[in-house]
A and B are shown apart, each in its own frame.
Chain A
């Protein structure tokens, strides 16, 4: 296979590189497919701050209107805000224009159902079928409806979080880095409304990302500096569409993305014991929290929609992903960095503890993540090979292959969004995690 593909049409939506494969025709046809799928009605459209957002938005709007939908344009706003707006405005669905944590040259469409969740894999298959078979509808001009601009989606989102969870009594100093992404349009107002003193960083919503948008520890040096210099109580970092949240402690150290969900879960289970749903690659620390605080842990396949599907069936009180995605259904049925901030701030207030103290109470694991280029035709054999080699271990085959051992695990699966195989291992020490990866690597060759 030559080169890396720049277009990925999958159940996660359509994702590609601007100026390369993600053409306006393709985007309009996808929007038409979605309009045909949900039927003529209102469809919410929102976008992150990427420079290509305006072009993509126009293509999407054209496609939706052509199928007889009324477009409700909520402008530049976080993805969770779009999801909430779909529910609030009783729309048939929504399209969020964002490539979330991918670099600035990427963009993508994410498809939202009337309940505010992304399309499930089954529903996404149906959408793809409409697209591939060109079965999208076109309505005559007398049935066309136009665009409605709705400017209050962000305020609605803030109101909902504060309404459900309340503002804070303690005044925290909070540093927040929006990566010049969609969070820039909401984070300062939101934290102000929560009752915090806000120290903003990268709040120009112009899509020129000053750091890679994925909120990994190595991308957060500026935030860490800000926290240290300003003596902030906590630092929050968002990705470009503000669904994922990473946390920097008051010492100016990133606590690791997995601990975002860990702290949020710790808080929620303390208030409302119940089921927690996380994906297969989420840290073992969640198992420990559930046994500490009481509740049940369910693991799902990777992908936000797989988590939310399981959460619905299990009536979970909280769920999410180890990448900093917190889903708290009481507010919003999707990953929501603002909900994550609110939960963590409430935890700090209730426990009267600093972030480093709160993290210090949790067991410590080391998680290592790598990717391997594997030709697509090799993937099934490789998975079989792994299955055979580890046949005497406890295996979870929901999504790729996860090998579980005492105090450690390793998970190998093909990516949904990129032409690679992901390998994730977690153990109590770095050495044992590295050892697990080496073992798997040897089998992948």
Chain B
């Protein structure tokens, strides 16, 4: 597997192999040249965070940017800080849901949203040209340490829910902080909401305790805590506060797709309107929109697409099947802390449990498989498949890879933005049909990939 991925989604790699200070410095110089002005930086709790943050700071300073160092904090806290303080952009040092050995830079623009594809390309052009702005000695700006971003973020979220209503319920909440960037902020949020928290993996000086993607087996520790503490709900964070995994009061881990489905259901019921999601997200969303009188708009995979489309359509909720949810009243970017508040607020208002909410969700079976290929093989494989389909006159959606929509299910084949692989996702009402679609796709891909 490739240890470095430079793409319009930023730069991502394995520390000690590919991700060296020089590369990080030059990406930060590219950002400083491209954006200029005041730039916020933050990191998650990975061991390589200090090294990467120092690299980024050096690169930004060298181009004459003023650096606002938010230190260890959730990426969405930084995004909110950038927007509210009218900075020109931000860089988050985090590999999000990727394992401990990885790290990455995520680039944020002045409105707190990630760079879109065009901006990502422009940034890459600046990086590749290697001609960065160079500040002279008397043009260099300082670094300002600003440790309060996570706290300000929590305060801001509290303004968007009925705090007293939630406090009265005294929810018991199990919390897996993944020793990550949300460790402080999510405990603070739960405290303000009057919850009894049962935190685990809440030491940011330790390594990430498990793969930080909050799904599947990574929820097993949290499941045990929910059971032992008889908690009303369990929340599992990734390393930087973008993706949220859930465990019900029956100590049942929920499929990652359901985090968004539950949030969409809640926000649609409150305020029927547009839901924005990507092409790879479950049809549960279409059913929920229909149930509550809303509509669904789909975008290519990637948070920036969803954020921008939400603004355009004035959407009431957005998100992706990966467990990332956008609550637009709070901000137009994935924000696990906001999702926690919204869920607890709804449970308090309706006096319902999360397992009851889960039972009301439409039933689908979603199956996925990754096909790992060399970076240079990926686009050829997809292009071959695309030409084959075009010549056969099949009706498909080419907005992001290839997507087929049928009455009883759908299939999506696309190149990952962050790793060197092709993702194949199928969903159907029947499990056997979903598996069948997946197998067909893999066979087809096998024949064109050679």
Contacts and interface: CB of A to CB of B under 8 A. Distances in A.
A138 B50 contact: no
User: Shortest 3 CB-CB distances between A and B: which pairs?
Assistant: A58-B58, A19-B136, A140-B16
B20 to A, nearest CB: 6
A141 B61 contact: no
B137 A104 contact: yes
Contacts of B24: 62
Contact of B101 (A20, A52, A63, A140): A140
B21 A105 contact: no
Contact of A141 (B26, B29, B100, B138): B100
A27 interface: yes
Interface of A: 17-20, 23-25, 27-29, 32, 50-52, 54-56, 58-59, 61-63, 65-66, 104-107, 138-144, 146-147
Interface in B133-151: 134-140, 142-143
Contacts of B16: 66, 138-141, 143-144
B22 interface: yes
A144 B43 CA distance: 16
A66 B21 contact: yes
B15 A25 contact: no
B136 A105 contact: yes
B137 A50 contact: yes
Nearest to A145: B47
7 contacts: A17-B137, A18-B137, A23-B62, A52-B137, A58-B58, A105-B138, A144-B50
State which size class the interface on B falls in.
Answer: 35 or more
Contacts of B48: 141, 144
B61 A54 contact: yes
Contacts, number: 123
B54 interface: yes
Contact of A54 (B15, B22, B142): B142
B62 A55 contact: yes
Nearest to B134: A19
A54 B14 CA distance: 27
B318 interface: no
A55 B22 contact: no
A51 B16 CA distance: 31
A144 B47 contact: yes
Nearest to B23: A25
A61 B51 CA distance: 7
Contact of A62 (B54, B62, B103, B207): B54
B313 to A, nearest CB: 41
A106 B100 CA distance: 38
Contacts of B59: 24
Contacts of A17: 137
Interface in B115-161: 134-140, 142-143
A223 to B, nearest CB: 24
B104 interface: no
Given A18-B136, A20-B134, A24-B25, A59 B15 contact: no
B17 interface: yes
B277 interface: no
A51 B140 contact: yes
B46 interface: yes
Interface in B393-432: none
Contacts of B100: 141-142
A104 B138 contact: yes
Contacts of A66: 16, 20-21, 51
A139 B15 CA distance: 8
Given A19-B134, A19-B135, A142 B21 contact: no
| Residue picked from A24, A58, A104, A141, most chain B C-beta under 10 Å | A24
